[in-house]
């Protein structure tokens, strides 16, 4: 027996519907779509507020994807930070698909923001992303899919790192995994994230990346580190995200790879972050952020040894007004001296 076309279409629509069970959430329109899930705007009747619900897409709703989405929710719940969207709830739809409820964020994606913002404003946003990613690293989480479309800039200056769907939980020692009482772990040693190889090592947090087998390539071309592109998920650590941050920096500052118009120190910063050899990159997102801060403060950056004339130019630009004032003073003195001569 074959179903008529309209009946099939209706069934497909029903399948794509992601109404959560119960009557707490009223699903509204979709507001975004990722590799695994669709994000809907929804209304939380219990608390009288808008929320976002991420639901596993019907066409990828296999066991692996379900595990990933659930892990994403747990990772997000673990990472309490102003730069990470808070998760309110997690559950399973009537058809078995996993969903989670999070804060509804409004804003522009980084690439859109960068089109109308000044370079220093864009750099400050990237700096905030470095801080957020550094926080995740300190809690044993590597994002692995950092790109401009995963960064949201809110109307009030909020900077949020989105889509932790392929994030990897790595070990930073049992103490660093948190004490279960909401107290965060101490910052890890530089580059100190190491892969967890057994679930027991991460008993206090989400399971350690049980779904990424060697040879699996996860990430976005142009933004994923070579070790990711080669399908070596076990090698992913903080420096993998440093590569992604460098790629973001290059993309939003220079627009296109190469970045000919960018200042050399800035280009050197992303060049170091984008080194094919992980050991040549900045050891952590914090170190990358520190170099961006130095650039913003017109200080020398560690990634670039500047020649004398560039250093002189940088110092002049930094103290331009003060130097002009002193020169004015000297000019006045010389003027009086010259007037005495006449």
Partner 1 sequence: MNKPMLGLVLGGALGALDGLSALASAPEVKPHIMGIVVGSMGKGLVAGILTGVVARKVNNLAIGIAVGIVIAALLALPFALAADPATGKRYFWEIMIPGSIVGLIVGYATQKFGQPVPQRS
Chain residues that interact with partner 1, rule: CB under 8 A: 321-322, 325-326, 328-329, 332-333, 336-337, 340
| Residue keyed to tokens 């890890």 | 188
Torsion angle of the four alpha carbons 228, 278, 292, 130, in this order, in degrees rounded to the nearest 10 = 50
Measured from the CB of residue 127, what is the shortest distance to partner 1 in angstroms? 21
Beta bridge partner(s), residue 171: 194
CA 16 to chain centre: 29
Residue with Cβ nearer partner 1 (7 or 325): 325
> Where do the DSSP E strands lie in the chain?
25-33, 37-44, 49-56, 87-92, 98-103, 108-109, 141-142, 151-153, 159-161, 168-171, 194-195
Q: Which is nearer to partner 1, 9 or 324 (CB)?
A: 324
Q: What is the closest distance, in whole angstroms, from the C-beta atom of residue 320 to partner 1 in the complex?
A: 11
CB of 257 to partner 1, least distance (A): 38
CB of 140 to partner 1, least distance (A): 34
Encoding tokens for residue 48?
Answer: 């009288």
251/257 Cα distance (integer angstroms):
7
Closest to partner 1 by CB, 106 or 318: 318
- Catalytic member of 44, 121, 145, 163: 145
145 is catalytic: yes
Report the nearest approach of partner 1 to the CB of residue 296 (Å).
Answer: 16
Q: Among residues 137, 165, 160, 149, which one has the least CA distance to residue 236?
A: 137
Residue 311 or 333 having the CB closest to partner 1: 333
Of the two residues 106 and 317, which places its CB atom closer to partner 1 in the complex?
Answer: 317
Starting at the edge strand that comes first in sequence, how are the strands of the sheet with 151-153 ordered? Answer: 108-109, 151-153, 159-161
The residues assigned a catalytic role are 145
């Amino acid at each position: 027996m074959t179903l008529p076309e309209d009946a099939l279409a209706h069934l497909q629509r029903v399948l794509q519907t992601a109404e959560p069970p119960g009557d707490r959430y009223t699903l509204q329109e979709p507001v975004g779509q990722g590799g695994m899930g669709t994000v809907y705007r929804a209304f939380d009747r219990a608390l009288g507020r808008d929320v976002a619900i991420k639901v596993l897409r019907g066409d990828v709703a296999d066991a692996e994807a379900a595990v990933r989405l659930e892990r994403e929710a747990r990772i997000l719940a673990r990472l309490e930070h102003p730069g990470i969207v808070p998760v309110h709830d997690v559950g399973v739809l009537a058809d078995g698909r996993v969903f989670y409820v999070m804060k509804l964020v409004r804003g522009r994606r980084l690439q859109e923001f960068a089109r109308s913002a000044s370079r220093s404003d864009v750099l400050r946003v990237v700096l905030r992303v470095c801080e957020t990613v550094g926080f995740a690293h300190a809690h044993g989480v590597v994002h692995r899919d950092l790109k401009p479309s995963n960064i949201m800039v809110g109307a009030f200056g909020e900077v949020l790192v989105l889509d932790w769907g392929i994030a990897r939980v790595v070990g930073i020692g049992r103490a660093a995994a948190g004490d279960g009482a909401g107290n965060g772990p101490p910052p890890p040693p530089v580059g100190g994230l190491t892969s967890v190889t057994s679930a027991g090592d991460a008993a206090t947090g989400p399971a350690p990346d049980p779904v990424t087998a060697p040879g699996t390539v996860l990430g976005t071309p142009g933004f994923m580190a070579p070790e990711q592109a080669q399908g070596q998920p076990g090698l992913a650590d903080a420096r993998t995200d440093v590569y992604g941050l460098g790629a973001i920096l290059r993309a939003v500052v220079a627009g296109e790879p190469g970045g000919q118009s960018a200042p050399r120190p800035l280009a050197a910063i992303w060049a170091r972050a984008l080194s094919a050899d992980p050991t040549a990159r900045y050891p952590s997102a914090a170190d990358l952020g520190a170099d961006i801060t130095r650039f913003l403060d017109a200080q020398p950056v560690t990634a670039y040894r500047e020649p004398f004339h560039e250093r002189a130019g940088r110092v002049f630009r930094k103290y331009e007004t003060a130097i002009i004032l002193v020169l004015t003073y000297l000019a006045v003195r010389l003027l009086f001296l010259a007037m005495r001569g006449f």
